[in-house]
Chains A and B, each alone.
Chain A
Amino acid sequence: MWLVIIQLKIGIILTFFSLLFAVASLAERKILARIQNRRGPNRVGPCGLFQPIADGIKMLIKEDVVPRKADRALHFLAPIVMVAPMVLLFGILPYGGGLTLVDLEVGLLFFFAVSSVSELAVFMAGWSSANKYSVFGAMRAIAQMVSYEVPLVLVAITPVMVAGSLSLVHMVEDQAGYAIGVIPNWFVLTPWGIVGFLLLFVTSLAEANRTPFDLPEGESELVAGHLTEYSGFKYALFFMGEYFGIFAGSGLAVALFLGGGGAPLPLLQWIPPYLWFFVKLVVLVGIVIWVRASLPRMRIDQLMDLCWKGLVPLAFVNLIAAAIWHYSGGGWQGWILAGGLLVGAYLMLNRVVLRSRCSWERKYYLAKS
């Protein structure tokens, strides 16, 4: 009996995320088009709704090209290694309401351990393609993902400190309930929580290779990075792995900071928690698409600067702020102490960055500035 239930749960979760993949790829094209004064796909089906199906069929029947000098085994394995861990990640997300598949005691650790396998897949893809663009793209991807793993983990530690557990389910339980009867006890509504949420969002964008951090695939300099030599269904798998990475990252953000399946108002508690979880996840995915439409790609040095000079120090300060919050027992003292620390850090960063920008002068040798 329990086996059937587990299989049912797996079926529901996988179906949901596969459907979300189709919908998100369509929604991304539609929203991007609207933002750029275009109409987006509108040929297949009503309003282009069947475009993902057409894309899927196209990807399936496309020729699978493998370069002659490629390492065939690795080239074949890389897309699978990309998707498989992402699917594993869906298993530990705390959907709540009986849909949670596994409540791992070390859920967060498992999450980071498994999600970092995708870095291996990216490098397998780049290396096995035997193409300079692929290798360059993979090298950039590795540099980026390894660097951003640091602030990601540092930020994810803060809810662990406050909730006192690595289990995602426990963390969601810790955010249940409402202050003064209306405001949910989500971590995002604390000074360290809002900073932590923003940091987690930015770093998981970078982990998923999304704009503005998609320079491993920067087509202007690297063709398509590690995806250069992939076509057909293998390319589709990479695409899918990337989207699944976004979903998993958003799911982690929802679980750690947005209260998991908790309703934003006590009145709305009759809606089952997994629906709340999915609503929050979809909203986050929508923001990811919105960010892609708005922000330009960064340069590799800017990317590294942002990580090591911006996000890592901020994550450390946030860690201290969370500790202060925890030991001052929340409340107004916590707001003043932790909030003041974070605002001070922001002001200092603001000052440092703005001043360094302004004192930086370009020398023109040929043209008068």
Chain B
Amino acid sequence: MERMASHYRKSGGRWLGSGILRGMGVTLKNWIGSYFDPSRLVTVCYPGERLPLPENSRSFPFLIYDGDDPEAGLRCVACRICEKECPPECIHIENERDENGKPRKRPAVFDIDISVCMSCQICVEVCPFDAIEMDQIYAISTNARFEPLRLHKEQLLKPNEYFRELSPTRSAAADARREAERAKQAKKKEAGKKG
């Protein structure tokens, strides 16, 4: 009881109506302040202007290619690790096959159903080739429930430059990893030639 009384005194003061006046003062300050102080007017006019996303924000996965040609620079080798690891099983991969029906190390079909995807980033973590990464797109409404939400290879493929812009830290790490791997491979080849 004592606590409540003191709480009331703290919040409203000793005089009837002083709390109302103080509250009106707060709103008046906010109203006039909103014309001078930008921190009092925090909303942005969304479709026109957008706040920059934090670097670590993520929405759905996309495929990275090097160079200019999506087909030639494709990093994915259709090893299907991401397909197996994906908890909601939203990734569907089919290998490219040569004329004998032997699978090539390239995906003919690479679909991600983003209506199923839960943005967990596990596919990114398990990919040994840094071929799949998380995108930041968020304005992705479509006019149908199923087909437009099933992204095909052509829609998923994006150049490495896009990834560098999206997330400088993670793309730098991935680039360094790939560079080290390439150097290691080259060394091995050298050693193999010598031997």
Contacts and interface: CB of A to CB of B under 8 A. Distances in A.
Nearest to A287: B24
A36 B33 CA distance: 11
A220 interface: no
Interface stretch (B15-23, B110-118, B123-131, B150-158): B15-23
Contact of B8 (A38, A349, A354, A361): A354
A39 interface: yes
B173 interface: no
A42 interface: yes
Given A42-B45, A358-B5, A31 B14 contact: no
A88 interface: no
A295 B23 contact: yes
B2 to A, nearest CB: 9
Interface in A30-46: 31, 34-39, 42
B45 A294 contact: no
Interface size class of B (residues with CB under 8 A): 20 to 34
B28 A34 contact: no
A363 to B, nearest CB: 11
B16 A353 contact: yes
Contacts of B31: 31, 34-35, 290, 293
A358 B1 contact: yes
B72 interface: no
A293 B20 CA distance: 12
A18 interface: no
Contacts of B1: 358-359, 361
A69 interface: no
Nearest to B2: A358
A37 B42 contact: yes
Contacts, number: 57
B43 A38 contact: yes
Contact of A291 (B8, B16, B24, B40): B24
Given A31-B31, A34-B30, A39-B43, A358 B8 contact: yes
B56 interface: no
User: Which of B26, B27, B30 has the most chain A CB within a 10 Å cutoff?
Assistant: B27
Contacts of A357: 5, 8
Contacts of B20: 294-295
B41 interface: yes
A295 B26 CA distance: 11
B51 interface: no
A273 to B, nearest CB: 29
Contacts of B140: none
A349 B43 contact: no
Contacts of A353: 16
A346 interface: yes
B14 A37 contact: no
Contact of A350 (B8, B15, B27): B15
Contacts of A37: 30, 34, 40-43
A304 to B, nearest CB: 18
Interface string B154-166: 0000000000000
Which 8 residue pairs spanning A and B have beta carbons closest together? Answer: A358-B5, A294-B27, A350-B16, A34-B34, A294-B24, A35-B31, A35-B27, A34-B31
Interface of A: 31, 34-39, 42, 290-291, 293-295, 346, 349-350, 353-354, 357-361
29 contacts: A31-B31, A34-B31, A34-B34, A34-B35, A35-B27, A35-B30, A35-B34, A37-B30, A37-B40, A37-B41, A38-B41, A38-B43, A39-B41, A39-B43, A290-B27, A290-B28, A290-B31, A294-B20, A294-B23, A295-B23, A295-B24, A349-B16, A350-B15, A350-B16, A354-B14, A354-B16, A357-B5, A358-B5, A361-B4
